[in-house]
Amino acid sequence: MDARRQPSLDEVEERFVALAEGRLTRDEVDRWAARWMADDGHDWDDTSWWALSLLHGIDLPAAESGGYLHDDEQVRAWLAELRKRRAM
């Protein structure tokens, strides 16, 4: 991992928005979050780490349905929760 600056909470939130709007795929968002979570050279606040941990694994399949473990409704609920946490 290079020494780039870690993404801001705004950038993390933008990944949720882009996913919810279909501008990014689940695979793209998962890979982006995984890259940052694997780099222990950053100091994350609790909200950023919580949000990144949700994005990392967002592309996990659901065995029964053939869809995703966390559906689009769950993604939107997490985005709403992120916004709520930011407002506190």
**Are 45 and 82 contacting, i.e. CB atoms less than 8 angstroms apart?**
no
Could you give the number of structural domains in the chain? 1
Supply the angle between the helices 26-38 and 9-20 in degrees, to the nearest 10. Answer: 160
**Are 33 and 15 contacting, i.e. CB atoms less than 8 angstroms apart?**
yes
Q: Does residue 2 belong to any structural domain of this protein?
A: no
- For residues 85 and 13, give the distance between their C-alpha atoms in angstroms, rounded to a whole number: 11
| Paired strand residues for 61 | 68
pLDDT tens-digit readout, 21-72? 999 999 999 999 999 999 888 889 999 999 999 999 999 999 888 899 999 9
Q: Does residue 22 belong to any structural domain of this protein?
A: yes
Band of residue 3 on the pLDDT scale cut at 50, 70, 90 = low
Residue 1 pLDDT > 90: no
Q: Does residue 31 belong to any structural domain of this protein?
A: yes
Q: Does residue 14 belong to any structural domain of this protein?
A: yes
User: What is the pTM for the complete model shown?
Assistant: 0.88
Q: Which two tokens stand for residue 13?
A: 């939130």
Which residue, chain included where needed, has tokens 């053939």?
66
Q: Does residue 18 belong to any structural domain of this protein?
A: yes
Q: Residue 27: give the domain boundaries.
A: 9-87
pLDDT at 2: 45
Q: Does residue 38 belong to any structural domain of this protein?
A: yes
pLDDT at 42: 85
- For residues 52 and 30, give the distance between their C-alpha atoms in angstroms, rounded to a whole number: 9
Q: Does residue 3 belong to any structural domain of this protein?
A: no
